[in-house]
Amino acid sequence: MLVSWNWLKEYVLLDMSAEELARRLTFSGLNHESTAEAGDDLAIDLEVTSNRPDCLGHIGVAREIAVIFGLELKLPSAEPEAGLPPAIPPVEELVSVRIECSDLCPRYTARVVQGVKIGPSPAWMARRLETIGITPINNVVDISNYVLMECGQPLHTFDFGKLQGAEIVVRRPEPGETIEAIDHKEYQLEADICMICDGRAPVAIGGVMGGAQTEISPHTRDVLIEAAEFDPVSIRNTARLLNLHSDSSYRFERKVDPEGLDWASRRCAELILEIAGGILAPGVVDVGRPPPERKPITLRLSQLPRILGIDVPAKRVREILIALGNEELDAPSPPAPLPQAGEGSKPAAKAVSPRSITVVPPGWRRDLAREIDLIEEVGRIHGYDEIPEDAGVPMVPSAKRREDRVLERVRHVLTAHGFNEAVTLSAVNGRDADSFSPWTDASPLRTATPVVRGADRLRRSILPSLLAVRRANEALANPCIELFEIARAYLPRPNELPGEPLLLSIAGGDDYPEIKGAVEAVLCELKIAEPVAYEDAGLGEFDQAASCRLQFRGETLGYVGRLTDAALEQFELRGPAAAAEIRLEPLIEAAELVPRFVQQSPYPAVARDLNLVVAEAVRWADVAATARREAGPCLETLQYRDTYRDKKRLGSARKSLLFSIVLRSAECTFTSQQADEIRDRIVAACRAEHGAELRA
């Protein structure tokens, strides 16, 4: 936001240096970017945060200066109707206004000035506009820009003689409707764009830019002044959709002061009469909702030392809040006067200090809604430099949420396994959005404006984004591309907001057993006591011989598998890859986060290795489940070792599963005979259930 030093002097006495002004503004929240000379003026660049649109005009900045330095603020009167000839017809007889989309335009006002003379702006106005980077055009257009930069309320001026039907209609566009804007480009209008129309066609894109058909020209004689309030989200969407941004849209996106709308309209009319001449039609056409009622806020003075660490006198607090434009409610009455001589010796009552201050914030400060907002205002105006470095502020320790504690452990396990965490965009292109969607068959949600080029769909799975990162790293010849991401997907639901499951996605160059092992390590770290079953994945992107679906509590927990050649080609990957995607909400709920003591056996363990030959279709998970069942409570660990295939020795349809078991008893030392008996039970059960044979 550029402001002019000479322009600011119209509203507040600047008896300090530009350096001191920049320093104090920065300390109060308006960060100073730079100061540059502009002829006999200074252009001061201030960073205005999105919650302070009141400072997007010179009056707002001047108000801050007046409060910070304790100076008087002088504002223009904006009284254009004083001394009007009585015979002029009222504005209601000249133009009508109708709002057909109150959700996009809650309020619209119009004034009409007749008989203006278009010409160049006076030198003082042209210089001020040039200082802040606005090129002067003509007096009427410059006045609307001047008022915009003065108070922050965007205005638009129409050539009233070019409006068809002497009416303004605020509506959505008709199908296929277009408009030529004042930048002389034609724009195709979408359904939810707010249009300002006359009795025949659109004449402006509401809140963004006017139309070329009704722009002010040297032949203009009658001017209609528009001052309106538009929905911020609608303006933001329109500006992005049309790639058409303006000073007006920038301010409407941040919401203007509804109570300052009429002042800006009157101020514009006043300057037009003063500079361009003409006669103002009495009254104003004001259609739509009135300004919303402002709610009071109570500031408890006891909260100031608790939050800021210092006591601020009640008088100083009241001065700051009132100077900022707040209206005090229930102000304390002054203390009773002292008794006069002869009225008795009754002592005077002591004035009681107030414990709280209740104020109604001004319409231009929509960011003031809670007590803490008032505390912040007191702190920044009183001066953060007034707070000693050793001021004590009571602190309450916070506790991590259960979700945070679980995700911290998940990240620890995966980084320990050599994976790096990735962060990708929630929006993907159409190809990636349709490539992998195990959680829903519904079409992905689409955004009106792509986040990046082509990325206009909300992802239904994280895995395509992760594989795209892997593809980019392969193109750069990175040797290690082991990645994981924890994020939300967006699953469309009819007539409802989309489901947003929290997912863990893993992608790596290791084979299926390594990725599955990483998933099992996560389950082990979270101490998931309930069983997790393994079934056929049933996904086309995964190799059916090296994939599985995880079932937990009767629902699908996730998928693990090796990508097929077709999937590798689809994602343009150069080497083999395996991946997994897991729903995290069930694990967050079932995780055991409190360490528990378990009595350790004092007796030694006994290990046995098993090498079972089974059919190719037999899954290791099924063999492992049988082994655990038959081993019983004495089984301490069961560990997969390897899978061996040899067409000559085993045949093309057979494979050998090598695994080991560790047995330990809490009551006695295991003998070799007891360990062999348990091993034999496992072999017998696997022979009966899976057709397994013990390999010699």
Q: Is the pLDDT of residue 236 over 90?
A: yes
The pLDDT tens digits of the residues spanning 16-71 come to 999 999 999 999 999 999 999 999 999 999 999 999 999 999 999 999 999 999 99
Which residue is listed with tokens 């920049």? 22
Helix (H, G, I), strand (E, B) or coil at 495: coil
Do 510 and 575 form a contact (C-beta atoms < 8 A)? no
Helix (H, G, I), strand (E, B) or coil at 157: strand
Q: Name the phi and psi angles at 687, rounded to 5.
A: -65, -40
- How many Å apart are CA 270 and CA 480, to the nearest integer? 70
Interatomic CA distance for residues 67 and 70, integer angstroms: 5
Q: DSSP label at 547?
A: E
Would you say the CATH fold of 297-333+354-384 matches that of 2-69?
A: yes
CATH class of the 402-590 domain in this structure: alpha beta
pLDDT digits (tens, 9 = 90+) for 143-154: 999 999 999 999
Tokens 């899978």 sit on residue: 643
| Interacting residues of 642 by C-beta distance below 8 A, sequence separation 6+ | 658
Q: What is the pTM of this model?
A: 0.69
Q: Using 50, 70 and 90 to split pLDDT, how confident is the model at 86?
A: low
Residue 574 has pLDDT above 80, yes or no: yes
Average pLDDT over residues 632-658: 90
Asked whether the beta carbons of 238 and 208 are under 8 A apart, the reply is yes
Question: At residue 627, what is the residue type?
Answer: A
Domain boundaries, the chain: 2-69, 91-288, 297-333+354-384, 402-590, 606-694
Q: What is the pLDDT of residues 6-25, one digit of tens each?
A: 999 999 999 999 999 999 99
Is 606-694 CATH 3.40.50.300?
A: no
Report the C-alpha gap between 67 and 380 in whole angstroms.
Answer: 11
pLDDT one-digit tens code per residue, 448-476:
777 788 888 999 999 999 999 999 999 99
Question: What CATH architecture is 297-333+354-384?
Answer: 2-Layer Sandwich (3.30)
Question: What architecture does CATH give domain 2-69?
Answer: 2-Layer Sandwich (3.30)
* Gap between the terminal Cα atoms of the chain: 83
The pLDDT score that the predictor gives to residue 342 is 43
Residue 508: strand pairing partners: 578
Choosing among 3.50.40.10, 3.30.420.40, 1.20.1510.10, 3.40.50.720, the CATH entry for 91-288 is 3.50.40.10
Per the model's pLDDT, the better-predicted residue between 5 and 191 turns out to be 5
